[in-house]
Amino acid sequence: MKKRAVVALGHRALGTTLPEQMAAVKQTSKILADLISEGYQIAITHSNAPQVGMIHAAMNEFGKNHADYTAAPMSVCSAMSQGYIGYDLQSGIREELLDRGIVKTVSTVLTQVIVDPYDEAFYTPTKVIGRYLSGEEATFEKQKGNYVVEEPGKGFRRVVSSPNPVKIVEIEAIRTLLDADQVVIAGGGGGIPVLEQKHHLKGAGAIIEKDLTAGKMAEDLNADLLIILTGDEKVQINLGQPNEELLGEISASEAKQYMEDGQFGTYTMLPKFKAAVSFIEKGEGRKAIITSFDKLGEAISGKTGTVIY
Ligand SMILES: Nc1ncnc2c1ncn2[C@@H]1O[C@H](COP(=O)(O)OP(=O)(O)O)[C@@H](O)[C@H]1O
Ligand SMILES: NC(=O)OP(=O)(O)O
């Protein structure tokens, strides 16, 4: 039986602007094709904060200035970001596979993820999206009822709520594609957050942390491996202190201890560890790798990366 992996792609694997994304995806596709060539069945999820910020700004500026265009809510923009990023990944991976003589369908499943309307996150927006804003732009956003935070010396950023993923609506479609040995991109940008109202799923104005959705998807698919590709080859503890240390192979209980000790950024590295530990604890023989996207091959063969077992 083939090994099954869920791969979460971070910012570096995608870039920010359209040309950056096109170049980054070419590189990322090679790495993912290597994994597939090694016999892994993979489901891929990805970041979307820069892209969804860009799409939301564009849609809402047009909506304001042209009577025949309407502004788009965040959930619709989230769906657009899944389509746009999924499209680039689908083409890139397909091409890389064909270059190696591998014929496989690569598809994107527009994925909705049910969130809890009473999730505490709705009271405190924390998820940073889009580009840096000037003071004037930040004031304008606040006037529209949006939230911004200041990053000293850099500018302002928009923030939205980031509720926990409760249920992946299209999980059976994702599972079916993997069972058919196809490559699937799903849960992009953490999935489109939706509130369950009887049979209706109402889009929520929020962005889910993609690492948490990746972990949930890995649990649901009973994957062997959760791979989180980020900017660093290995995670550090005691960051910025004289006793700074790179983490290699650690157990889930060691990882939990580091989490409790506050070793990881709340909105950056911590969700990756939460996802990894929860995934590992809910099954047998599971492993999670956190590494930079260009080091995946070495990490798979045990030469680098932070590996949690
Ligand atoms: N203990 C830590 N070790 C390494 N990086 C950390 C740590 N705590 C926070 N970080 C930050 O987390 C970042 C990765 O998180 P994020 O920017 O959300 O990534 P991505 O888009 O790759 O998912 C790193 O680039 C680093 O700045
Ligand atoms: N949705 C999400 O987690 O996006 P980023 O990784 O870009 O913040």
Residues 186 and 298 occupy one common structural domain: no
Q: Residues 208-226: what's their mean pLDDT?
A: 98
Ligand 2 binding pocket mutation candidate from 12, 207, 212, 228 (most atoms within 8 A of CB)? 207
Closest-CA residue to 250 (of 284, 226, 273) = 273
Alpha-carbon distance of 213 to 111, in angstroms, equals 11
User: 36 near 29, Cβ under 8 Å?
Assistant: no
Beta strands in the chain (DSSP E): 3-9, 40-46, 106-109, 112-114, 127-133, 147-151, 155-160, 167-168, 183-186, 192-197, 200-203, 225-230, 236-237, 245-246, 249-250, 287-292, 306-308
Q: 210-220 and 270-281 helices cross at what angle (nearest 10)? A: 10
88 and 200 share one domain: yes
- Indicate whether 123 belongs to any domain: no
Q: What number of other Cβ atoms are within 10 A of residue 85's Cβ? A: 24
Claim to verify: residue 171 and residue 255 sit in the same structural domain: no
Q: Is the pLDDT of residue 243 over 80?
A: yes
Range of the domain at 271: 231-309
Q: Which residues line ligand 1 (CB under 6 A)?
A: 10-12, 47, 230-232, 235-236, 239, 263-265, 268-269
Same-domain check for residues 173 and 105: yes
Residues 3 and 72 in one domain: yes
List, for residues 46-91, the tens digit of each pLDDT value: 999 999 999 998 888 765 677 788 889 999 999 999 999 999 999 9
Do the Cβ atoms of 280 and 288 come closer than 8 Å?
A: yes
| CATH number for the domain harbouring residue 1 | 3.40.1160.10
User: Where a domain ends, among 206, 223, 240?
Assistant: 223
Tell whether 94 and 47 lie within a shared domain. Answer: yes
What length does the chain have? Answer: 309
Label residue 1 by pLDDT band (50, 70, 90).
confident
Ligand 1 test: best mutation among 16, 154, 159, 232, most atoms within 8 Å of CB?
232
Question: Domain total for the chain?
Answer: 2
Distance 99 CA to ligand 2 centre (A): 30
Ligand nearest to the CA of 228: 1
Q: Is 212 among the domain residues?
A: yes
Do both 261 and 194 map to the same domain? no
84 & 198 share domain = yes
Q: Which ligand is nearest the CA of 272, by number?
A: 1
For residue 28, give both structure tokens. 């990322």
Among 203, 223, 243, give the residue marking a domain's end.
223
- Is 147 domain-assigned? no
Domain boundary among 177, 196, 223: 223
Sheet order of strands, 183-186 included: 106-109, 183-186, 40-46, 3-9, 225-230, 287-292, 306-308, 249-250
Shared-domain flag, residues 188 and 293: no
Cα–Cα distance for residue pair 272/210, rounded to 1 Å? 9
Could you read off the pLDDT of 139-190 as tens digits, one per residue?
A: 988 998 899 999 999 999 999 999 999 999 999 999 999 999 999 999 999 9
Q: What confidence category does residue 236 fall into, taking pLDDT thresholds of 50, 70 and 90?
A: very high
Burial of 1 (0-12, 13-18, 19+ CB in 10 A): exposed
Same domain, yes or no: 92 and 212: yes
**What is the residue type of 242?**
P
Same domain, 218 and 250: no
Same domain as 197, residue 307: no
Report CA(168)–ligand 1 centroid distance (Å): 25
Report the pLDDT value the prediction gives residue 144, as an integer from 0 to 100.
86
Question: What is the enclosing helix (H) or strand (E) of 119?
Answer: none
In a domain, 136, yes or no: no
Q: Which atom of ligand 1 is nearest to the CA of 12?
A: 22
Report the nearest-CA residue for atom 17 of ligand 1: 268
The bound ligand whose nearest atom lies closest to the alpha carbon of 45 is: 2
